Each structure stands twice: as C-alpha cells, then as structure tokens.
C-alpha cells in the first residue's frame, strides 16, 4: 500500500463523519416534525386517564390552592409534598415558536406540552397524597422556570421546568 492511499482513506473517513453530521440535523428535524406532536398527544391522553382514575377514587379533586382545609374538622397530620417535571419542547415546537415570534399570535404547539407538564406535576401530587393516605392537599402552588443546557449551544435548547408543591393533610 502506498503512503498516499492511507492519506486518502483517512480523508474519506473524516468526510464521512462530516456528511453524517451535516445530515443529522435536518433528519432529526423531520423526525421531530413527524412524531413530536403525536407523542405529546399520546402522553396527554394517558395522563388524562390517570387523572380520571384518581378523581373517581376520591370523588372530588383532592388538590386546592385555598389556605385552609375545606372541612373544619380536626387535623391529625400535615406534611409538605412536592413534584417537578422538566420539559423538552422538541425542535419542531421550538421552530414554530420562533416563527410565531416573527408574526405574533397564539402559539398553539406549546399549549399541549405545557398542559402536559403542569397536569403531570399536579397528578404526581395527587398520587403522593393517595399513597400516604392523605385526604386533601391545600395551598398548592405552581412555578415555572427556564433552564438551559451547558453543552449544546444555549440558543438551541431551552428546557422548561414546572414545579408544584403543597401541604397534604389528614383529617382525624
């Protein structure tokens, strides 16, 4: 084998990596456009079923953001509960949001993902309350924060964190 052949082989190898890297972004984008909303819708409908099950079990929604318990009976136990959910909106949604920021208007694509994140946080509170045998969760608060990744350029990925907390109480 000649020396120049080795150099050509190395050159071809790097060229292949370059082409793969160049193709990755558009392919990933198309994949995101095709499957992102479908996935979010599926997650959301699964979650709605779980919420319905819990509501059926309690006969009412155990969560409230009132400061005092609904029923003025004695309370035997009170404990702090919390849950969080970090949401990646997906490339396609990020693109749509960017596009909408040019022309303005309601960004419907984000409604689904934010509803998903909030509802699953609240459902996690309900789950924790029913696991511990608590009757109600009072003073529920929701918070939203934006966190960004270190390695991928900070322009690309903007993750959203939803955080919910409240006080679970047990009636005596």
Partner 1 sequence: MSEQQGISIIMVNTEEVPGKSITKTLGVVSGSTVRAKHAGKDILAGFKNIVGGELSAYTELLGESRDEAVQRMLQEAVGRGANAVVNVRMATSAITPGASEILAYGTAVIVE
Q: Name the site residues for partner 1 (rule: CB under 8 A).
A: 28-29, 31-32, 35-36, 39-40, 43, 67-69, 74-76, 78-93, 113, 117, 120, 128, 132, 138-139, 141, 143, 145-152, 154, 156-157, 159, 161, 163, 165-169, 172
Give me the least distance between CB of 49 and partner 1, in Å please: 17
Please, which residue, 68 or 101, has the CB nearer to partner 1? 68
Give me the least distance between CB of 12 and partner 1, in Å please: 26
Please, which residue, 122 or 169, has the CB nearer to partner 1? 169
Give me the least distance between CB of 40 and partner 1, in Å please: 6
Residue 126 host element (H or E): helix 108-131
Q: What tokens does 68 get?
A: 């005092």
User: How far is it, in rounded angstroms, from Cα 55 to Cα 139?
Assistant: 18
Q: What tokens does 18 get?
A: 């370059």
Q: What tokens does 81 get?
A: 């509960």
- Tokens 């749509």 correspond to 96
Give me the least distance between CB of 19 and partner 1, in Å please: 19
Please, which residue, 53 or 78, has the CB nearer to partner 1? 78
Q: Which of 148, 159, 4 is nearest to 94 (CA)?
A: 159
> Is 52 exposed, middle or buried, given 0-12, 13-18 or 19+ CB atoms closer than 10 A?
exposed
């Amino acid at each position: 084998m000649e020396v120049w052949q080795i150099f050509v082989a190395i050159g071809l190898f790097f060229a292949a990596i370059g082409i793969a890297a160049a193709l990755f972004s558009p392919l990933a984008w198309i994949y995101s456009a095709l499957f992102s909303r479908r996935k979010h819708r599926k997650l959301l409908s699964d979650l709605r079923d779980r919420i319905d099950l819990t509501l059926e079990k309690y006969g009412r929604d155990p969560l409230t953001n009132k400061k005092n318990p609904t029923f003025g009976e004695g309370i035997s136990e009170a404990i702090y509960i919390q849950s969080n959910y970090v949401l990646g909106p997906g490339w396609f949604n990020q693109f749509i949001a960017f596009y909408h920021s040019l022309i303005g208007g309601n960004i419907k694509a984000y409604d689904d993902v934010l509803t998903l994140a909030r509802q699953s946080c609240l459902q996690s509170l309900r789950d924790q309350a029913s696991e511990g045998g608590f009757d109600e969760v009072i003073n529920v608060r929701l918070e939203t924060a934006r966190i960004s990744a270190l390695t991928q350029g900070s322009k690309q990925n903007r993750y959203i964190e939803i955080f919910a907390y409240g006080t679970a109480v047990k009636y005596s």
